């Protein structure tokens, strides 16, 4: 049937390829050992053509995994000769500069063979909770301290696993059983994708993916060019200030909007620092591109052609373009702030059409045992999303990463922790005609009365909350403390004494538009639902309807 597919069949095939990726991702979530993958969806899955170009991605997954994987597959294939690959082979790496930006994310690539030749590749990425070194900490001074790095190599040859590689990882991991299980879950999910891809090709009597790849790339390129043309051509610049670790960090962007493409230069951002919050350029580019696409091309599927229209560059050696051996554990502190940096540029091009700033980086809640019971627990606390030009911001939503949180019940089963509270934090969404999304307040302690160790590596916006737009107010800044009176203001490591609890409140999203113009019924509803206090209704929104 190849060469005779009409436009309807091509579109059906395109959607079927996306369903292959989604089944691949679901297989990973079912097989994963780590709750951060199994429950929160911190992963990616995709199908690539025979040249290593991404055709489709799963809906489940994060931009930092998917968009870096789009480049890492080709990078891995440049290292391992194609002629050396056989049926059943799989490649693996967790090199931050080839993969997803830090040593915890492993990328596995599996070729799909049909009639003795490679017709495509299935790739997946997920987070491994511990691979040695200092663990989840921003206190390393180089990547050599952050954990074991696996160069591009075979994870499997035919049906034979690379047990030597697995032993290296498990020997260095504090949770070896979970680490090995998570790596093998990537292998299993790719095998599921290969089987479904070959079934699909058999159903349509395809000998290769060339025709459908040409269709996908052509339509995506045309659609992307048209969508990008909505933004006026020109040069736009933006600066954002983050807490950093020892000192504040500046992010700079110069965006050039041309005909059907956008070029971004991050040169001018702060130099790389001696702490693990640096970001390799591959991860920076992934999230910068996502911020642009989220506003301008939300209806264009993510693939190689739609990504090619956006180019992100930087002078090397900056906090957004860190070079080896800079420490990069908490690279998402920088990387996930970049969509808001991009949206700040686009606000100048399309005033009044861009959502307010969001809480940005995930607040990764990394707790481990500091007493007799040794364990590692990784969860995420979610902040508020910025208000949109015609809608309130979403509360406790992981924008831009899109991951969920590990449910309290699952977190408490996996580790000796108790979540005493997890609730909306009133008045944390920036005031505006449209209110910013609310933050959440969490209180966590040991369920066995022992001391805990906290890594504050990803706690950001503790100084200034996300900015509002068009007259909207900033969202509330984040707050972290321990019930013994300790206030956490940096990204260091803290001990929570036995019997004490950790209290954290994530940042809220910025507001959009003049608060005085907010609909009175919306203010009354927020008040009745406990999203704002009576004092806020009266002093910020000038509403006397405090009995609603």
Per-residue DSSP letter, 282: H
Contact 150, 94 (CB under 8 A): yes
**Rounded to an integer, what distance in angstroms lies between the CA atom of residue 263 and that of residue 254?**
8
| Most confident of the ranges 27-41, 362-376, 488-502 | 488-502
**Rounded to an integer, what distance in angstroms lies between the CA atom of residue 82 and that of residue 64?**
26
> Above 70 in pLDDT, residue 2?
no
Average pLDDT over residues 352-357: 97
pLDDT digit string, tens, across residues 500-529: 999 999 999 999 999 999 999 999 999 999
**Helices 281-296, 338-349: inter-axial angle, 10-degree rounding:** 40
Consecutive H or E run containing 502: strand 501-505
Residue 375, class by beta-carbon neighbours within 10 Å (0-12 exposed, 13-18 middle, 19+ buried)?
Answer: middle
CATH class of this structure's domain 224-353: alpha beta
Domain limits, the chain: 7-208, 224-353, 355-517
pLDDT digit string, tens, across residues 177-226: 999 999 999 999 999 999 999 999 999 999 999 999 999 999 999 999 99
How is 152-181 classified by DSSP, letter by letter? SEEEEETTEE-HHHHHHHHHH-SSHHHHHH
Average pLDDT over residues 469-497: 95
pLDDT digit string, tens, across residues 382-430: 999 999 999 999 999 989 988 888 899 999 998 999 999 999 999 999 9
pLDDT grade, residue 486 (50/70/90)?
Answer: very high
**Rounded to an integer, what distance in angstroms lies between the CA atom of residue 545 and that of residue 289?**
44
Cis peptide upstream of residue 535 (ω within 30 degrees of 0): no
């Amino acid at each position: 049937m190849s060469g005779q597919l009409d436009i309807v069949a091509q579109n059906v095939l395109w959607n079927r390829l996306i369903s292959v990726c989604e089944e691949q991702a679901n297989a990973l979530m079912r097989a994963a050992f780590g709750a951060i993958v199994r429950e929160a969806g911190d992963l990616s899955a995709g199908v690539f053509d025979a040249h290593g170009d991404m055709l489709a991605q799963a809906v489940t997954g994060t931009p930092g995994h998917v968009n870096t994987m789009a480049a890492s597959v080709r990078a891995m294939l440049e290292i391992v000769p194609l002629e050396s690959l056989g049926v059943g082979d799989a490649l693996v790496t967790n090199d931050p500069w080839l993969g997803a930006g830090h040593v915890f994310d492993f990328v596995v690539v599996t070729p799909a063979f049909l009639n003795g030749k490679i017709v495509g590749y299935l790739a997946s990425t997920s987070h491994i909770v511990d691979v040695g070194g200092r663990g989840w900490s921003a206190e390393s001074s180089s990547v050599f301290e952050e954990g074991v790095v696996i160069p591009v190599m075979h994870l499997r040859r035919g049906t034979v696993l690379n047990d030597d590689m697995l032993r290296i990882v498990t020997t260095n991991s504090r949770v070896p059983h979970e680490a090995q299980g998570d790596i093998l879950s990537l292998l299993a999910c790719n095998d599921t994708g290969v089987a479904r891809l070959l079934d699909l090709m058999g159903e349509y009597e395809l000998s290769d993916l060339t025709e459908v790849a040409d269709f996908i790339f052509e339509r995506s390129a045309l659609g992307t060019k048209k969508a990008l043309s909505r933004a006026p051509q020109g040069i736009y610049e933006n600066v954002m200030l983050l807490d950093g670790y020892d000192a504040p960090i500046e992010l700079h962007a110069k965006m050039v909007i041309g005909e059907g493409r956008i070029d971004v230069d991050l040169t001018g951002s702060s130099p790389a620092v001696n702490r693990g919050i640096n970001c390799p350029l591959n991860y920076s580019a992934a999230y910068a591109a996502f911020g642009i696409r989220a506003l301008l091309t939300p209806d264009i599927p993510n693939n190689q052609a739609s990504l090619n229209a956006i180019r992100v560059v930087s002078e090397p050696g900056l906090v957004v373009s860190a070079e080896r051996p800079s420490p990069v554990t908490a690279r998402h502190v920088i990387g996930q702030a970049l969509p808001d940096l991009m949206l700040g540029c686009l606000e100048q091009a399309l005033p009044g059409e861009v959502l307010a700033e969001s809480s940005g980086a995930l607040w990764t809640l990394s707790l481990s045992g500091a007493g007799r019971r040794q364990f590692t627990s990784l969860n995420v606390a979610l902040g508020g999303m910025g208000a949109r030009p015609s809608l309130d911001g979403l509360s406790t939503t992981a924008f831009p990463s899109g991951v969920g949180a590990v449910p309290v019940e699952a977190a408490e089963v996996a580790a000796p922790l108790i979540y005493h509270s997890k609730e909306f934090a009133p008045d944390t969404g920036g005031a505006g005609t449209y209110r910013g999304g609310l933050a959440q307040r969490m209180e966590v302690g040991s369920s066995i009365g022992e001391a805990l160790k906290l890594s504050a590596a990803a706690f950001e916006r503790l100084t200034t909350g996300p900015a509002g737009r068009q007259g909207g107010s900033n969202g509330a800044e984040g707050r972290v403390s321990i019930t013994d009176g300790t206030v956490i203001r940096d990204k260091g490591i803290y001990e929570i004494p036995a019997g004490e609890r950790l209290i954290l409140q994530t940042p809220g999203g910025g507001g959009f538009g003049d608060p005085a113009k907010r609909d009175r019924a919306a203010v009354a509803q927020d008040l009745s639902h406990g999203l704002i206090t009576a004092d806020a209704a009266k002093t910020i929104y000038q509403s006397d309807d405090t009995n609603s």
